[in-house]
Chain A
Amino acid sequence: MEPLTGMGVLALMGAAATIAGASEDLESDVGSQSNPNSQVQLAPQMMYPHRIHSKAVSGEPPSNALMCAIGGTTASVLITTGASAALALAIGAIVAAAIHGTYSATAYMGRSASQKRFKQPVYLDVMRSHIPVIMGYAFITTFCILVVSYLMATVLAHPFPLPLLAFIWGITVGAIGSSTGDVHYGAERQFQNVEYGSGLNAANSGNIVRKAESGLRNGIDNSWFCAKFGGPVTGLAFGMTVFLSGWITTVFDATKGDAIGWVSVIAGIIIVLILILWNRNMEVAARAAYGTYKEDEAEAEVAA
């Protein structure tokens, strides 16, 4: 393949992946999924019933893998029958979003019903307003992942079939989303009632913010907040993963010989080393800027 074509495809894949990552994170914030949802789940037990959707489908990786695999399967079936790729990917994403909607509904109703003794009601209007939003984000995520997988399978001639690639990228986007953007929702948005700049004190567990700028807070309010930081950085994380892991093999094309293949591995290692240094740099800067939480007891004694 022409190097320029390769770079173009890679850029397109990176862009699609960035959108997929951002919408994945916002989808999990609207529905409240994965690890931060443990606080939503805990709240009624601590006498804080709420009107936040609880999308306990499963962890984010399996639920995104499900969406993407369903989308990839439907698209692959349609392509086999002769449909155009763009149409097939779109219809695949619609089917996936619809099925994800049913999963969200059973999860919300089930978790709330299992908290009868804590008097957490099932609010039907929460479902009616949240599930279409969840499905919308799910459509965007699935469609973009399918674009990435389709480009890999056809243009870059990856040996894995479309549904399997979609499945694997679904697992990866879910793993990245629950590792990055979710922290913004779990550690900051849910606990805006405590001072900024620390982790959640275990004593505050379950005491999530339940009131919004207007009325009672719901998942859509949460996505408004997370769209300012958590969502976009999740997009960057997934986009970077797809782009960088493809970049090293596209620029240093191993088809021209094993030696260049080794250069691509070395390039990958250099990227990782740079990231380690960057992390260290941020660690030092943050410690200098924020300072310590408590005084050093030994030093305090010496001073006294």
Chain B
Amino acid sequence: MIDVAGILMQNILYVILITLGGVLISWSVHFVPVGGAPAAMAQATGIGTGTVQLAAGAGLTGLVTAGAMMQITNNAALVIASGAAGAMIMIAVTMIVGTWVYIYGVGCPPASAKVKYDPITKDRQDLYVSQGTEGHGLPTVSYVSGVIGGALGGIGGSVVYYSLMSVTNQLALADLVGMASVFAVGIFFVNAVIPSYNIGGTIEGFHDPKFKRFPKAVVASLVATLFCALISVLAIGGL
């Protein structure tokens, strides 16, 4: 049987970091402007897909970048920053092409229905919302919010991956990469689904009233990720 207390004492820093990473992922999902099914019909502001999937797409792209960087440097900050850059690029590109489709394919200007003036550009919003919809497209505030969400998600995912890779262990490198990537994907999905149940479908970004709900998801993620962090550190540290 493995020395539970010993492994945990030795790696307590990484348990904390993994938990922190999970909380960051959970918080980041609230920034990503997702309109769910209505947005696909230009019926709601945001990206026309589900919360979990978009967060997972961005976060996992960040994980791929961080994994490549981890191979060539030991600098934690650089690995984490690279993960954030990868995730930001993915989400920024997705949103810019989304804007092409809304403007040139559907013919409607970006507009938010939740605020009267865009908090960043101070542009009037309500006049540009077409009849019978809850806004459409990605006004600047949603776009910036999405980029922040991508960055935080990328940071969270990379922190989790970096911490798992740094746990004291006797594994060969290839085996360690396998274990760490599997645990990172598992933790990522748990922390992407929890906030999506909190948001309940659609959110426009940090200016949306629903954004204020994030402490609930953060608390839920904190508890759930702490447990996941304990078992993953024990599993990797025990080998």
Interface residues of A (CB under 8 A from B): 34-36, 38-39, 59-62, 152, 156-161, 164-165, 168-169, 171-172, 174-176, 178-184, 186-188, 190-191, 196-205, 229-230, 233-234, 236-237, 240-241, 244-245, 248-249, 254-255, 258, 261-262, 264-265, 268-269, 271-272, 275-276, 278-280, 282-283, 286-287, 290, 292-296
Contacts and interface: CB of A to CB of B under 8 A. Distances in A.
B60 A168 contact: yes
Contact of B61 (A34, A156, A241, A287): A241
B53 A159 contact: no
Contacts of A278: 96
B85 A201 contact: no
Q: How large is the interface on B (under 10, 10 to 19, 20 to 34, 35 or more residues)?
A: 35 or more
B123 to A, nearest CB: 8
Nearest to B174: A159
B56 A268 contact: no
Given A35-B39, A200-B133, A175 B147 contact: no
B125 to A, nearest CB: 10
26 contacts: A36-B40, A159-B71, A168-B63, A169-B64, A171-B53, A171-B60, A178-B53, A181-B101, A191-B41, A197-B108, A199-B41, A199-B43, A199-B108, A199-B132, A229-B104, A229-B105, A237-B96, A245-B61, A249-B69, A254-B82, A258-B78, A268-B88, A276-B140, A276-B147, A279-B95, A296-B127
B131 A275 contact: no
Contacts of B92: 271-272, 275-276
A279 B64 contact: no
Interface string B35-67: 011011111000111100110111011011101
A245 B100 contact: no
Nearest to B48: A183
Interface in B69-114: 69-73, 75, 78, 81-82, 84-86, 88-90, 92-110
Contacts of B139: 283
A39 B49 contact: no
A197 B104 CA distance: 9
Most buried by A among B41, B96, B174, B178: B41
Contacts of A171: 53, 56-57, 60
Q: Which 3 A-B pairs have the closest CB atoms?
A: A175-B57, A201-B132, A268-B85
B72 A255 contact: yes
A230 B90 contact: no
A241 B133 CA distance: 30
Contacts of A188: 105-106
Contacts of A204: 132
Nearest to A289: B109
